Structure 1
Amino acid sequence: MLRITHLKWLLSLLIPAGAYFAVQTAVQADPSLNPHLPMFFAITLWAITVWATDILPAVPSAAAMTFLYLLCNVAPAPVIFGAWGAFLPWICFGALILSEALEQTGLTRRLALQLMHLVGATFTRIVVSLMTVGMFMAFLLPDIMCRVIIFVAIAHGLVMALELDPKSRISSAIIMAGFCSATSPGYGFLTGTEMSLIAMDQIKSIITIPTWGEYALANLPFIILYCCFSIFMCVKIIPGKEHIPHEDHLKEVVAERLRDMGPMTTQEWKLLILMICAITGLLTSKWHGLNGYFLYALIAI
């Protein structure tokens, strides 16, 4: 094990060094290239190698990469730290905070049990209901990151509520069902993902941008087929021969565990209200005039 770790550290140094000298040679041959390119490639490849070999956690190595850019004068500080002025890092930060709060308060477990109680306690019905709600959420909420956090948190709550082995195939199928429910329906709507909005904005000078209805008419039939395949994959392929324990009388098990949880606590009510406010802030940004993404992150914090 020690030798493998040494090899990983060696790779994390040799690969960036090799890239540095290779790019340096190219820069010397072509003076029009940016002289800071060799150091940029070396630092970036170091971080990627460290992540790939898992010798350092992602957060400190990413932070180190950022400060190395600054210390080695790869680019001016406003350029290096300019990304923090965009919404994406902050909405990811806010979504992770909400995800942690959902788990700590037990609200995801309660929401998962309530979902099973409403739609019927079978694995297939759970997956279909998640995808149906995902289609509705893609229609309303254009931020795919927020949808992923919400749906994967509910799927995680299902795994906890059913006391499944986290490493089992059935647990993987439930988590994948949450992820697919958040992502698969998105490309059927013009406002289903940020990527669609960005793409339409980029090509508006070349072609006529389709209306919301035209976009849905062209894409939604294929996306529905994709959602159906996602359901089939989560129900039939990923679980293999595994089944949810006590599936024959799962309805009684769900009802019993809901009773054991008792009424919603003050913390759960507070978190539920905050989540509703955060999502409402995103959906109504064109009316209140504030940046919905930053508002979401602020409420989460």
Structure 2
Amino acid sequence: MGANPPAPKDDDDVIIRATDVTVRFGSKTILENLNLDVRRGEIMGFVGPSGTGKSVLLRTILGLNPKQGGTIEVFGTDYEKASDRERLAIERRWGVLFQHGALFSALNVLENIQVPMREYLDLSPKLMDELARLKIDLVGLAPDAADKYPSELSGGMIKRAALARALALDPDIVFLDEPTSGLDPIGAADFDELIMTLRDTLGLAVYMVTHDLDSLFMACDRIAVLGERKVLVEGPLSTMLEYDHPWVKSYFHGKRARHVVLPDEKSAGSAADTQGSV
């Protein structure tokens, strides 16, 4: 099978465009001629078998991994060719929630959230405190979480604190690497609801690497499946359910997916229940 074809070039809502991206580590090719668009205001989920390059792609977009071919445009600018000043402007417009939170253990929650502010902004300590407390409230943490250290937080609180840090600079897009891993089903569902609420209220784009079927089914506007060194298929959930590929069919129609009901099916079921009760 060949590389997935480039996306159309006339979409003004595209904020990240990867074109013919190739990444190798030594003699091993991880991504080859990969094409992908991420659009303004959408939640896009990335899934695929282990080792197919989901985290590699994320880190390559962020400039943390070198690529051997292709281009990555962020907010219309080729990140690799951008000047230091242009890169700084781009980096201020994104936030990252790394897997397991990656909070600094020696800093409390308030100080962790202020790290991007200290790096990119010139603000007074008082203003940084006020802004950090706003972010704490925004992600649903109690005010007293500000003074707690990562070792004093539950798994769910760590995720929310890390998300607050990702939102510190009021970004246009946030990158989430396995945001619900390690959370119980209720905590994971609450986090999905939080992400959807933030997307709606702040107009965020969300780039989410996840293995959580519930997140893919409930939160994502589009899904991209990585495999065979490229994007195998991308689109809404309905496209995933109809796509004829062994791994995609196994993942979205497997035993763990049986309990998940599509929104349209829920509506149809509710209508049937209503008619039956009349």
Higher RCO structure (Cα 8 Å, ≥6 apart): 2
TM surpasses 0.5? no
Which of the pair is proportionally richer in helix? Answer: 1
When normalised by structure 2's length, the TM-score is: 0.26
Which of the pair is proportionally richer in strand? Answer: 2
